[in-house]
Amino acid sequence: MQTQETTGERVSTGVEGVDSILHGGFIPERTYMVRGDPGTGKSLLGLHFLLNGAENGEEVLYINPEESAANIRQNAASFGFDVEDLEFLDLSPDSEFFSKDLSYDIFSPDEVEQESLTAEIADRVETLTPDRVFVDPLTQLRYLAPDDYQFRKQVLSFMDFLHGEGATVLFTSQDTTPQPDDDLQFMSDGTITLTRHLRERLLEVTKFRGSNFEDGRHSFRIRHGGLHVFPDLIPRQHGREFANETIPSGVPELDQLLYGGLERGTATIITGPTGVGKTTTGVQFMKEAAGRGERSVVYTFEEGRETLIHRCESINMPIREMLDRGTLRIEEIEPLELSADEFAYRVRREIEDHDTEIVMLDGIVGYRLSVHGDRDDLTREIHKLGKYMKNMGATLLLINETNSIAADFEVTDDGVSYLADNILFLRHLEIGGEMRKAIGVLKKRTSDFERSVREFELDEYGIRIGEPMTDLRGILNGTPEWVDEPNELLRDGGSESES
């Protein structure tokens, strides 16, 4: 028997996300159960478990009392698995073993002259001395026992025998109304439950003797390569040292509004109606960061990647150059493609693998429409994402679109303003029969800020921001009025920064 490859005295499940949930993997020489409806991925998890052992030079055994080994090999190949190094004990009804007219008395003492199935299993295990055993499904053997009591007694005896040989055991269960698997849950050292709800697949650990584990439901996908598990994001488990500094936008007047810029590791909501310049304002901070050699990423939920590139290029933002240099990445998220866990996992990989400093979600409404989950749950997910990024020293920009164009001011339509350290608002204004724009700061937790509202403009040269609009009142409710003598520059449609 080979020495088992462990992580902190653990046996890897072969799936990185599951190992993370189990704090390193299974405890050696114990029995674990994976349960779920047909098609939820139970057999795939078992294949990951065995293949990981085979890659580490361990002896592994796949006991299959239901599906033939030939079918298992064919199905495994469709996911890109090479199972040539796996040993199979094929006990399926159409296997060669049952063509010998042998006894179906699986666990009880042999009372016939032919070699019983008990002896067959014992002989293979004693010969192979496997480090890992996968039984798929163990509940199939229930039908071959005379009653439930004998089945439970025989399963315990079977597991003791495998543990005596030094094996770590994983088995699958088929939980049905006539034959529930509660008894097997009591007998196992750990239970992993796989479920499927519409477009989302979830993994939950409900029991794990001798160790802590990550509670809750964790999203996963089944695709080429098998199971891809995305553990629930726990912000307190992540952190790194970072400089407590201000990130400027590169637009002097905007930085004056913010008293220097945004603090690193904060969450900022940039809010306003459609077409006012919210996304462009966010990208401006990324443009300045690119000049420092820092990387940023935009997750766009509401408009196409090429549309964003075209809009930025039209106002003299070198976005293609940023993309080519690797200081910017734009990822277009397809509607209903991701779960909240998988999206958070993508953000984690950006920050931890590529040292990404600024992350922008464009926008909050699109996130809720594109990502699986309940509305309140998704708000909590954004909150967790912000906490994680704060711990990692990354800056989060949340683009929020309000429904009103020039009505009473509202920070967000979704009640998420409490998530933000900073709130930057933009407004459409009607002044003298002409549509204009304004920008201001509503909230800044980490420092003071300028209380005035300034005119905001986008042209072929980029973002242009004027002097404080002190001659107007009623800007936030969309009906500005002159106070005493109007500023001639505003009345003429210009700003002092344009002179």
Q: 2 pLDDT band (50/70/90 cuts)?
A: very low
**DSSP state letters, 77-139:** HHTT---TT-EEEE-STTSGGGGG------SSPP-SSSPPHHHHHHHHHHHH--SEEEETTGG
Residue 299 CB contacts under 8 Å (≥ 6 apart), including other chains:
331, 333, 343, 346, 347, 359, 360, 361, 362, 367
- Cβ proximity of 449 and 259 under 8 Å: yes
Q: Which two tokens stand for residue 259?
A: 């008293």
Between 375 and 73, residue with greater pLDDT:
73
- Centre a 10 Å sphere on the Cβ of residue 195 and count the other Cβ atoms it contains: 14
Round the average pLDDT of the chain to a whole number and report it.
85
pLDDT for 97 beyond 60: no
Highest mean pLDDT among 48-62, 325-339, 417-431: 48-62
- CA angle at 472 for the pair 467 and 475, rounded to the nearest 5°: 95
Q: Which amino acid is at 207?
A: K
Query: Looking at the predicted structure, is the pLDDT value of residue 363 above 50?
Result: yes
Identify the burial level of 236 via C-beta atoms within 10 angstroms of its C-beta, where 0-12 means exposed, 13-18 middle and 19 or more buried.
exposed
pLDDT at 491 > cutoff 90: no
- Which letter does DSSP use for residue 265 in this model? T
**Buried (b) or exposed (e) across 149-159, using 16+ Cβ within 10 A?**
eebbebbeebb
Confidence of residue 146 (pLDDT cuts 50, 70, 90): confident
Helices (H), 292-339: 305-313, 319-325
Neighbour count for residue 498 (Cβ, 10 Å): 13
Q: Give the residue among 246, 328, 324, 259 at the shortest CA–CA distance from 287.
A: 328
Question: What share of the chain has pLDDT > 90, as a percent?
Answer: 59
- Write down the pTM of the prediction: 0.82
How confident is the model over 12-35, as a mean pLDDT?
96
CB 61 within 8 A of CB 124: yes
Q: Where do the domains of the chain lie?
A: 16-232, 246-498
Average of per-residue pLDDT across 335-343: 88
pLDDT of residue 470: 79
Question: Which numeric CATH code is attached to 246-498?
Answer: 3.40.50.300
pLDDT of residue 155: 83
What's the token pair of residue 470? 């002190």
Helices 340-354, 375-392: axis angle to 10 degrees equals: 10
pLDDT tens track for 389-445? 999 999 999 999 887 655 555 555 556 788 899 999 999 887 777 888 999 999 999
Q: Which two tokens stand for residue 11?
A: 């046996």
**Phi, psi angles (nearest 5°) of residue 276:** -90, -15
> What's the pLDDT band for 101 if we cut at 50, 70, 90?
very low
Lowest mean pLDDT among 61-70, 87-96, 227-236, 344-353: 87-96
Q: Which CATH superfamily is domain 16-232 in?
A: P-loop containing nucleotide triphosphate hydrolases (3.40.50.300)
- DSSP H helices, 292-374, are 305-313, 319-325, 340-354, 364-370
Taking the mean position of all CA atoms in its chain, how far away is CA 272? 28
Which residues neighbour 88 within 8 Å (Cβ) at sequence distance 6 or greater? 61, 62, 63, 64, 69, 72
pLDDT at 484 over 80: no
**Contacts with 367 (C-beta within 8 Å, 6 or more apart), sequence order:** 299, 301, 343, 361, 378, 382
> Which of 58-62, 204-208, 301-305, 348-352 has the lowest average pLDDT?
301-305
The tokens for 271 are: 């809010």
pLDDT of residue 95: 59
Asked if the domains at 16-232 and 246-498 fall in one CATH topology, the answer is yes
